[in-house]
Structure 1
């Protein structure tokens, strides 16, 4: 398995975990709402109102995670390019990036990669740039040394 395939697999695993965590949280909140409704005959909605708010937030997070999963399914690991694009590993003199989705830090084979979105600020600086392009980000001067 190539490094790009392994990075994509890790991204998918992390998103799957997020999806499962949100589903579990939603189920817990639903159970709490049901038990609050059964035990609450005076019409005091303060507890269930917060629970409904939490339910709504978690359902939104779950929806976002599902969209990320769908987005990741569009990444092709066998495409080569001379310019940084979705699915590429972009190495700079400062750090390594994997252009996929905003997953964060991934440690793999004694290397550190940062899975970033095309739409993130750093993603916008990288996208469509070839090797030897330089740019500044967070007061660091980066030079693209390799695109895989």
Structure 2
């Protein structure tokens, strides 16, 4: 369920980015050289900069998709790792990709990356262990 929600999040954003990229590429091909050469070059360069930004964002979301593939094929473990669902006395976490709040029928989770500050604190811990984050004490209640 959590992987599906994260996958939908990534795919929806990838789709929007690809549509925006297509629009910009269309704008670039429609750009015609005018008598004001500098204006033409500046306009084309601005479009190219935006295309590069979108391409970088698309690559980032494709990497997130790869991480989700790893999460789907991970082996179960009692210690926290990529793909773990962690329930604490403060909040519930899904260690996968940074998607923010994920709501299921019964509970709320925070999708976080392994490299996030709290992800780093959770890594390798087991049920019953404690840690402090932002002046709060966390107790790990469950690791799935």
Q: Same fold (TM over 0.5)?
A: yes
Residue in 1 that maps onto 2:109: 113
The 2-side partners of 1:25 and 1:79 are apart by 37
Q: Which runs of 5+ in 2 are unaligned?
A: none
Say if 2:97 is the partner of 1:67: no
CA RMSD of aligned residues (A): 1.5
Q: How many residues align?
A: 142
Q: Please report how far the alpha carbon of residue 41 of structure 1 lies from its aligned counterpart in structure 2 after TM superposition.
A: 4.1
> Residue by residue, what CA displacement relative to the aligned partner does 1:70-106 show, whole Å, maximum 9, x if unpaired?
1211113673321111111101100000011111110
Q: How does 1:1-148 map to 2 (within 5 A)?
A: 6-36=1-31, 38=32, 40-43=34-37, 44=39, 45-76=41-72, 79-148=75-144
Distance 1:92 1:31 in 2: 49
User: Cα distance, 1:28 vs. partner?
Assistant: 0.8
Displacement of 1:142 after TM fit? Answer: 1.0
Q: Any runs of at least 4 consecutive aligned residues in structure 1 with deviations exceeding 4 A, and if so which?
A: none
Q: Classify the secondary structure of the residue corresponding to 1:61.
A: helix
Query: Does the aligned pair in 1 maintain the 2:3–2:72 contact within 8 Å?
Result: no
